[in-house]
Amino acid sequence: MTQNPAARLEKAFSAAIEGALGKSFAGTDPVIRAATKPTLGDFQCNAAMGLAKRVGQTPQALAELIIEHLNADDLIESTEIAGPGFINIHLRTDALADALIAIDSPALGVSPSDPSEVIVIDLCGVNVAKQMHVGHLRSTIIGDALARVLERVGHDVRRENHLGDWGLPIAMVLDRLHADGTALSSMSLSDLDEAYRRAQSAARGDEAGWKSGVAKHVGPHRLFELEAQNASANDVRTRAGELLVALQDGDSTLTEQWHQIIDVTLSAMYEALELMNIKMGSENNRGESFYRDKLVGVLEIFEQRNACREDDGAIVVDFDNRERPMLIRKSDGGYLYATTDLAAIRCRTQDTGASRCIYVVDARQRDHFRDVFDAAAQVGWDKNSSGQSVEFVHTPFGSVLGADKKPLKTRSGSNATLASLLYEAIARGTHEVQQRSNDPKSPTHELNEQELREIGQAVGIGAIKYADLSNDLSRDYVFDLDRMVSFEGDTGPYLQYANARIQSILRKAGSFDNAAPLCVDAFEERQLGLMLLRWNSVVHETARTLEPHRIAGYLRSVAETFNRFYQSCPILGAETDAIRVSRLRLAHLTGRILEDGLDILGIATPDRM
């Protein structure tokens, strides 16, 4: 049997409903669900309650009629009606074993999507010359997990890191570096971050304060201070504007310095990505600079299609369902983030041919992306180069909070950098692993320090990733390393340890016949088998909803179900060789699904912990 029992049951009961009620009921959803009480059955059909009133029968009578027309003796051992009309379903043991054997394959029963799509995922979004922070943590982890699950079902996924590497802020940093006499050849990201903050501060005038001071007749000394501040800020912006024009014109010295700033930023970014086990490289970088020569073309298309209008020298796009327009060119001729995002959409849909564009960006950008997506549709970019409809998706996420339930800060009160969080997690994970290795009975007792550090890194990073991905993405969550790195509870290390435990059992067993018959007679064997058979539907549901917590929750259920199986069904000490080999095969399949699921979440799976 190659089809999941749940899918076969849906087909069989749907046919039974049609047979019982006539062709007008063809295709009726039979509402097949996993049994709420496993002791009463493996699955249940809940269709009778919803259909009974429509056909003028009691749910119990209709359930009996459905069973009369049911033709699935090769799959179903028995059925019984319970409660107001539920049909409890007991699968044949051999059918369950056959289904498990069918998914014990390289694909683990995960079927490819048909058709396969080209999907672009916008993630990470690093700003050049700035430290990566906790917002990049979420965007990168979530985006990578979504890319992995979509790739797992066969889609062609293009990760894109929309770098903030162009425009006035970069020119302001260059101006600051020049003013400070910084040696660009030896600067660090910390130097750049400091220059960025000082440049922003220096360019920040206080025109409103000056006007208020004049109105309130403050003293001349205060007005002089405000005038000096505003004059200085204007000078900074003017110099930066001149630098930007020179950079745009291709000044060789400035271009070289710009590349140096980018290289320093990306070097730190790649270090963080490697620590986090993120699948991204230089080929995924398409920053604002990539689109800078395409902005005029975007504006021309909007003008040609009468999708914009002039407003006091600026160019705006209107929407039928809201009053505020979207600005795509300022009155001074400058372009905005919205224009760059439209250029990216044009490239992704018309050049790359994507049929889905997913943006993993924090929830505060919701209105911005609503405007950009609706504007793109007005000029036809909601169809790709092949004429397919394009789905634009903003996947928002909440904030990472500290113990005080406020945005996470360091002890000094500054914003927490991504690097500081990662290294703290690795240190905590390593400490936990080293503590456990002190036990002579521990599988890690004989490992050297380097091996323990590698496991500690996997534990620490896995802890952060699981804490992020196991929650509803739109919700805030508290960054609590004490809880995250625990080997107990709803944590990444708990799942990693569950898999390592299985690998330990398999090592002790030595080689075994992985094509031997499967026995699933015991209750706990059946429950584990039924849980493993859900893997295909969980993966596809996650790919459809873009909710990684579905996989995280499923993996936890797998680990808990395996633990109950392990406690009740001896593996190495099974009563017969046939049962021993069957249970080893079941354990091996469980480990493979745990590893597959954790890999989709981007979490490493050490074989010893």
Q: What is the CA radius of gyration of the chain?
A: 30
Q: What pLDDT band is residue 231 in, cutting at 50, 70 and 90?
A: low
Distances in Å between the alpha carbon of 279 and those of 126, 147, 362, 598? 15, 9, 21, 14
Q: Is 113 helix (H, G, I), strand (E, B) or coil?
A: coil
Distance CA 450, CA 452 (A): 5
Q: How far is CA 574 from CA 101, 104, 189, 257, 501, in A?
A: 20, 22, 59, 69, 18
Indicate the burial class of 442 (C-beta count within 10 angstroms; 0-12, 13-18, 19 or more).
middle
Residue 94 is predicted with a pLDDT of: 96
Which CATH number is 118-163+279-395's, of 3.40.50.1970, 3.30.460.20, 3.40.50.620, 3.30.390.10?
Answer: 3.40.50.620
Q: How far apart are CA 90 and CA 78, in angstroms?
A: 5
CA 544 to centroid of chain Cα atoms: 12
Tell me: the pLDDT tens digits for 186-203?
Answer: 889 988 988 888 888 887
DSSP per position, 50-69: HHHHHHTS-HHHHHHHHHHT
| Mean of the per-residue pLDDT values of the chain | 92
Alpha carbon distance 176, 196 (integer Å): 8
Q: For 533-562, write each residue's pLDDT tens digit.
A: 999 999 999 999 999 999 999 999 999 999
Contact 309, 315 (CB under 8 A): yes
Above pLDDT 90, what percent of the chain? Answer: 79
Give the mean pLDDT of 36-49. Answer: 93
- The torsion angle over the Cα atoms of residues 239, 242, 244 and 246, rounded to 10 degrees, is -140
- Residues of the chain with pLDDT > 70: what percent? 94
Q: Where would I find the beta strands (DSSP E) of 441-512?
A: 477-478
- Of 105-109, 210-214, 512-516, where does mean pLDDT reach its minimum? 210-214
Average pLDDT over residues 167-179: 89
User: Measured between alpha carbons, how far is residue 295 from residues 230, 339, 351 in Å?
Assistant: 31, 6, 15
pLDDT for the residue 169: 86
- Tokens representing residue 572 in the block: 């190495």
Q: Per-residue pLDDT tens for 431-455? A: 999 999 999 999 999 999 999 999 9
Which token pair is 243?
A: 């630098």
418-600 belongs to which CATH class?
A: mainly alpha
Burial 194-220, CB ≥16 within 10 A → b, else e: bbbebbeebbebeeebbeebeeeeeee
β-bridge pairing 477-478 and 400-401: parallel
pLDDT at 223: 40
pLDDT of amino acid 212 = 59
What's the pLDDT tens digit per position in 549-602?
Answer: 999 999 999 999 999 999 999 999 999 999 999 999 999 999 999 999 999 999
pLDDT above 80 (res 213): no
Contacts 24+ apart (CB under 8 A), 446-455: 447/608, 454/606, 455/429, 455/430, 455/606, 455/608, 455/609
Phi/psi for 503 (5° steps) reads -65, -35
pLDDT at 1: 40
Which stretch of 97-106, 328-337, 350-359, 451-460 has the lowest confidence by average pLDDT? 328-337
Span 372-377, average pLDDT: 98
CATH no. of 5-91:
3.30.1360.70
C-alpha distances (whole Å) from 527 to each of 17, 48, 439, 515, 532 are 28, 26, 33, 21, 9
Rounded to an integer, the average pLDDT of 288-317 is 96
Domain ranges of the chain: 5-91, 118-163+279-395, 168-249, 418-600
* pLDDT at residue number 412: 55
Q: What pLDDT is stored for residue 411 in this prediction?
A: 57
Task: Please tell me whether residue 574 adopts helix, strand or coil conformation.
Answer: coil
Distance CA 89, CA 41 (A): 5
State mean pLDDT over 242-266. 92
Predicted local distance difference test score (pLDDT) of residue 206 = 45
Distance in angstroms (rounded) separating the CA atoms of residues 171 and 530:
60
Q: List CB contacts of 348: < 8 A, sequence separation 6 or more.
A: 120, 158, 160, 354, 357
Residue with tokens 């916008």: 122
pLDDT beyond 50 at 224? no
